A and B are shown apart, each in its own frame.
Chain A
């Protein structure tokens, strides 16, 4: 390393063989203008903006595509370099409209900045300019193609990062244009990144269009709350309103990208069903009240149930994406009252090996290391839609030559090549994994750095424990790292702070073990405490959860939003501030405990959930509560329990048997994963959101039922029938029906991997 030195602008700097001049200059903070070069994309060298003078070279050279050599002398500001840069700038502006005042990119445009810095102040060009027709590419991205300078960053992004080549450069010469060619929506779940990398205003943020200028906004660092990657974000706010979200760079986590889910979810924050005032139900009518009244009402409600039915009659459910602080105070308050039915594993159905869990579920490796593995096995993981940024790492691993294997209930569109993709009948993942274990493919057998990942579809399987122990066997056989990829953004934090019924904070076994998320719904409780949970959307068995809520005497929801059902079953709704209005910590799948601060103050009377539980504890006269004055106090108490990831050893078998007959396959789709995402309008308009509607069956199942695409079928689970329209989808195995979870129309149905009846309507 650093075996070579070169001189840039008179400064002698160390460099590595194989590096390009621009990389060295960037590291040394020597600014070279560029359009097509992007450090996380391949080199195209087509814009020529980065021309610099290199001693002994007859002509200026593009810094982005000129590898360094020892003793090279580079001049970025010499008369030759400046003249070349000016000339390129002039050419680029020939066809570029000078419409910056009406362009959304104005003020944050690389072309604008660079032409200020490196161009002439007056244009010599007074002939006509070309114009290019715009395209409708969907609800997220706005196009203004006349502004395009053909840097092809967006094209390379599709090729190399999203793995879906949707945009291309068609025609040639002056007629060149960036287009999808046939009118179609851009569908990648990472598509929004092309807005950031487009150096001009050709591709801009559609829902944000004409809403604000960059200089009117302040930016705040925060963490994405939708998956266990924990992408770093910058939230742009104007007068306490979130205007947009862009990535914050973190090479170890999200590099320079974020998923569309993280970029557009903030549009949910101002929907009409956001709660901003405490609400209580008196004689079946909702009243907006002050905090004191609401809290009093809450304590009275909970205590009445406890007096009448005992602590065991209360169940408490928290979302999978709370901060460490929220989790800690949630369980602290409940346990202080003697309530032990506490859980966050809303979607899971098999808890038989819960005491064998390590301090918290984690990936067993890091995002960066995954890129270097030579074989990856995905078990029950729709990674591409569950954790888009992790999928990007897998994509990179595959580009680096890793062999990919999967055992999944659906033949998901995997975009890049998989050696083997097992889709067992009836969603029987145990059978699928056994098959893989019995005939381990050569490419897996011979791998030296294999990784096995269990995703949400395995974690939520009724035989999850068996899947884990089979995966363990496979891992032992081939010497693989085995990891869990959990739903939500902070399941790790929930485990560590004891938001599970069998453990106190820090992996201590609870002396009074409570009931898990399933049991406390199956076994009707008289009171429920919800923390950002909408049981009719978020639980494994939504029909049952809804019923349990409806039949309970008292339901307290500490939530950011309400639902229609919640207004029926809840008795008190306390407004919890969402992630961007609170500070705290979240722990991602590789074990990074990331701190973030509130971007804006809580809206209306909303409060951070940890504060709500603290004051509730105070009102319940819990003595020790006085020690939690500030968020720092809460974190300090929680922090001592935050451990390093430890390896697990899975050996238990599930008590549940394999599902038989016609089975419902279900997942929380990418844009239904949590209450925020479900309300984000731009995301709900995407193809990813609409395509999961209906009952998906394969051709064989359809012909058995004598139905076709668009026909109505009646499906029933939990003794509840609903009518859905058929989608014929050959990605499904025989004897399976895919009906997504998290959608309002499906809420009365039961659990995933459970039998379902389907018949012609």
Chain B
């Protein structure tokens, strides 16, 4: 059974656009752009959506799960409005990511991998985000926040709270 119908026509058109950029037998190459689009649109990529992408592209479903689980930029379940990914890899760790993480946990009242009760903030630790020169850092949504201090973290969170 194909689940491709879950994709909107607009999305399908976008996917076609990407498919056209690769050789005909390299449909797998379009998985990442398709996943990006769904993530942007729905703030997560559910299992049915991964199946839909696989079926639409005619690639094995497991191949899409592999991509989805490999990259931290895809959330496979809804996680909350602001998804905070704190880098805890070597450079950030040496520059104090433990302190940043501890501060976030205190302030939000959640543990790593959890979401605050009001669904506003989700906290997670991730591997190097390629911003070692400005460590410690975290990513919230699409934005990088660099050279963090607990104070800076507070300001960022206050601002996000204010927006909501």
Contacts and interface: CB of A to CB of B under 8 A. Distances in A.
Contact of A182 (B47, B60, B66): B47
Nearest to B66: A168
Contacts of B69: 170-172, 181
B70 A172 contact: yes
Given A170-B70, A171-B70, A173-B127, A181 B65 contact: yes
A492 interface: no
Interface residues of B, number: 10
Interface string B60-84: 1111011001100000000000000
Contacts of A169: 66
A166 B127 contact: no
Interface residues of A, number: 14
Contacts of A182: 47, 61, 65
A624 to B, nearest CB: 61
A165 B62 contact: yes
A709 interface: no
Contacts of A170: 62, 65-66, 69-70
A413 B75 CA distance: 33
A165 B70 contact: no
A180 interface: yes
A167 interface: yes
Contacts of A173: 127
Contacts of A172: 69-70
Interface of chain B: mostly helix, strand, loop or mixed: helix
Main secondary structure of the interface of A (DSSP, over half): loop
A691 B63 CA distance: 26
A171 B69 CA distance: 5
A445 B70 CA distance: 45
Given A173-B127, A182-B47, A167 B70 contact: no
Contacts of A165: 60, 62-63
Interface string A153-185: 000000100001111111111000000111000
B62 A180 contact: yes
A171 B65 CA distance: 9
Contacts of B62: 165-168, 170, 180-181
A181 B65 CA distance: 7
Contacts of A164: 60
Interface in A657-693: none
B70 A168 contact: no
Residue from the set B61, B62, B65, B66 with the largest chain A CB neighbour count within 10 Å: B62
B86 to A, nearest CB: 17
A129 to B, nearest CB: 21
A159 B62 CA distance: 11
A154 to B, nearest CB: 12
B76 to A, nearest CB: 10
A168 B66 CA distance: 7
Interface string A131-167: 0000000000000000000000000000100001111
A353 B70 CA distance: 60
Contacts of B47: 182
Nearest to A155: B62
A312 to B, nearest CB: 55
A172 B65 CA distance: 12
Interface in B98-126: none
Most buried by A among B60, B61, B66: B66
A166 B62 CA distance: 7
A727 B69 CA distance: 35
B136 to A, nearest CB: 20
Contacts of B60: 159, 164-166, 168
Nearest to A182: B47
A168 B127 contact: no
A428 B66 CA distance: 43
B126 to A, nearest CB: 11
A172 B71 CA distance: 8
A164 B60 CA distance: 8
Nearest to B50: A181
A167 B61 CA distance: 10
A173 B127 CA distance: 10
8 contacts: A165-B63, A168-B62, A168-B65, A170-B62, A170-B65, A170-B66, A180-B62, A181-B69
Interface of A: 159, 164-173, 180-182
Given A168-B60, A170-B69, A182-B61, 9 more contacts: A159-B60, A164-B60, A165-B60, A167-B62, A170-B70, A172-B70, A173-B127, A181-B61, A182-B47
Closest 3 pairs (CB-CB, A-B): A165-B60, A168-B62, A170-B69
